[in-house]
Structure formats: structure tokens, C-alpha cells
Structure 1
């Protein structure tokens, strides 16, 4: 079991050498920030059902070259869980507010899963704030409709999470679901350490995180899915240099969803890593670190 140390709040933090912890006031919402290294600032946004510790294998690989800013999204990890504010628009607003509070006008951006979806919104909304976007295990906002319809069934588990008043109870009282989602989405050759799996299940099933999970998924249903269905993203152009990295064995975000064909973007490249599933920061941290270096070398 990794050594843990306290931060104001109900749960102790996993310990990772060289990582500093603090809270940042983002427009009135206290967001937890795990920070490591020095140099060019690089913001890292985790996915579901994780928190900043999702980057534990990536941090040692990049902390000698970048100032790593691993932000817990609202309601997850050690960030405050506000009553409202879980749509993609809300998350993007809070992230930008956090960057303002930190005095960072421009950063590199890495996002995984929901963090990557938030990253696309950030890059579209405020392109001047980001030198590049590395999106991991997430489709871009312009997937081909045929590919989207052909893979929609793979999101079956979201039906258990998204409905108001129901999703939070499922997560809270059936925490084994989170462990199942983590295990099934990872390639067999990259198993989770038992302690790390237990950390995400424990953190993700607190009352605050369970409510955040429900509202995050419901926000996607009522706001983002209609935008995708109506082609609203086609009116927006991606100008931030972007690399989209996927896993060949990802059971949710299939490689067919990553095609850059017809995407309104100045520079969007996609790569699929063989033998990998949905959690590239865990399964292939060295590939994630190398992708960061390639993407931001000319920034």
C-alpha cells in the first residue's frame, strides 16, 4: 500500500515523490492541484472514475522537462463537489478560471477520457490559451455518424450512471461497478495493481464523487449528444495542434471513432497503439510522455 499523507479533507492522499499539493479557487470552486517539476507548464486532466493519481506513471517521465499541473475535476479526487456545474461547458469554464488564478496565460494540455473531451472544448473555446492538445482515449467532436452509431452500444454502462437520482445510488452502493469498468477497459497484459484499483473505487464511490459522476454523464446526455446529433460542432474549427492517441483494444472508444477525415482542424493527427485498451496513462505511460514531447517540441 503506497504511503499516504494528509490534505485538508476527508480522505488522505496517495503519496508520489516530488508531487506538491494545494487547492486553487476557480470562480468560487476549490479545485485540488497536484504539481510536479519545473519548466514549461503542462495541464493534465484525468478521466472517469479517476483523479490526479491517474498520471502517477507519467509524472516521473515528464517532471524533469515540464511543470506538471494535474487538476482534479470538480467533484472528483480532492476537489470541491459543487451542487451544479458538471456539463462540458461548466468544466471548461472552471479550468480556465483555475489557469487565470494560477497566472498561466498559455499551457500545453493533456486529457484522458472525460478530461480529453473537456480538452477539446477548451481548445475550441480559448485556442490562444493552449500550445497543443494531446487527447487520450476519446473521440474528437466530429466522429463519422456511421462509426458513432456502430459503436453506441459500447456505452451501455452509462445507462447505469446518468439518470438523476439513480446514477449516484448505483455508484455509491455498487462500487464494484467502478472496478469492473476499470478492469474491462484495460488490455489483459496491463493489469491494475490491487492497491491502485482500490484507490479509484474508494475515491469514486464517495457521496460527492457519486453525485458528480451522475451529473457529469447526465450533462453529456442533455447537452453534448444533441450537439453531436445536430452537427453543431461542424460550425467550430480546431486551430490548436492536436494529437489524438487511442488504444487498439479500447472497448469503448474504438479506432473507427478517431478518423481525422473531414474534421475541421488545422492540425489533427491520430495514432492507435497496438495491444492497449482505454487507459493509456496506465498501460503505456512512456508512449504518452513521448507523444507530449513530439507535440510540444515546436510550441
Structure 2
């Protein structure tokens, strides 16, 4: 069941038909599951995964993700494709390069639009578009975004499909609460009402969760950082935006990336919605410069189209 997460098999010029011939060929594994769902709740999987953060919450929570919408990233592609064989995805980061870009209409013209973290849309539609079909986050980044960007109009994720990045027990617990319309039972979000974040009509069909194997595969094969040889090894992980962009690379046929870091990043503020210039910050848990290099290589290889100013 891990190979059915791909979108159309019939796109002649899709990423998967080209990636094998590219410099990324040796890194790419075709059958790695991008998402986890009820079918992964086996004793054997649990034994294997319980070494990883949050995985001991896995059995109790994943059983609610039991429909095809939970294991397919592009779950409505069959009904949507309308003679088009290739799925086009826009993956939108929050980088300052988007400010004044006027890319909104182009972004909204894609079949699917992926966003992450503090994706402030109101007032920025001309540059970043207004549609969202997939929103990637971890519970930690969602809470931080609501705290940090509440003042500029970010009150939570747009009404859409929610793709959890399992970083911690918190992610499994919030996901379970959201799917069952109950309060979070324990942890930092204990007693919180998930409809506050995901709206009153959130249902299990709108929820997805990245597979820990997929995140580890990204870290080891696509984003293998020198940080893994340092004392920060245990906290290093792909950024939320990187996980989202590489998930699109593994599920869409064509990918355009906007608002990701480019070599001239110091010209732009950290985020497109910053009121005044803020320098991009670098932290030990991510390797943003290395991620930037990977985006350049993917763009050069023709596997993604990366928005750059020059």
C-alpha cells in the first residue's frame, strides 16, 4: 500500500519519470510511504517505530486515519484531473522574496497549493495567492505561529487538508482530538479544543500525517547535513518547509516552489509579511543553507521550478 500514494501514473513528463535519470536518482526511493495511516498500525510496525519521537502514541491515534483520503496526498485527483494527466502543485514558503512578487494569480492557478506555518494570506493575496489545499505543520510550529503572527492577522491555518509533521507525541494527540472532536487528553495542549485551530467541521478525512520513515529518508538521503556529525545531531531535522516541498516532489507530477531561500536571501526580509526588514535567522535544528543548495540543484535538474528574483 505504500506505492499508491503517488498521483497519476500517466503523466509522460512527470517528476518520477525524470528523477531517476537525474543526479537525484541514487537518492530517490520510489516506494517509501509519504503518509502514515491506519494500515500502518501493526504490532511489527509499532515495535520498529517506537524508537522514534511520538511513536508510542501511534497505535492509539493512527486508527482514526482509515480512509483513502488519509493515505493519498492528492486524494481527489481522480475526480479533479478532468483529462489533464499531470498534477501541478505550488509549494509556498513564507520567505521575504515573495513581497512585491505579484505571483498570487500564478500560485492560485495550480491544481494544488501547499502552505506551511505562519501562512498569512489576508492582505498579501496579490503576492502569495489565496488558495490553500494542503497545510503542513507540527503542533509546535502551529502554536508558535499563532503566538508570533497573531498581531498581523494569523489566527490559525486556512480551512483545508491538514498534514501533520510527527515531531512529538503532541502531534499524534492533537490529530486524534481533531478527528474525534474531543479535547486533547494530555501534554502541553491538554484540554485544548482542536476546532479552535481547524474549524468546526474538521473531520478525519481532512487530516494526514507524514510517515516517520519518510522524514528520516529525507534527512538521510536528500538533506544529509554536517550537523549530523556535531553535538546538535539529536535535534537536527528538515525544516517544515523542506518536508513539505520534498513531499510534493514525491507526490505531484510538476512542482513550482515560491518563497524558499535563494542565494540572494540577504536582500529580503525573513518573511513576506514582516513590517520592517528582519534578517533571516539560522538555528542548529535546521540546515537552511544546505536546504537552499538542494533547491538550487532540483531547479537546475528541472525537477522543480524555483521562483527566483534574478
- Relative to the length of structure 2, the TM-score reads 0.25
Normalising by structure 1, we get a TM-score of 0.26
Greater Rg over alpha carbons, structure: 2
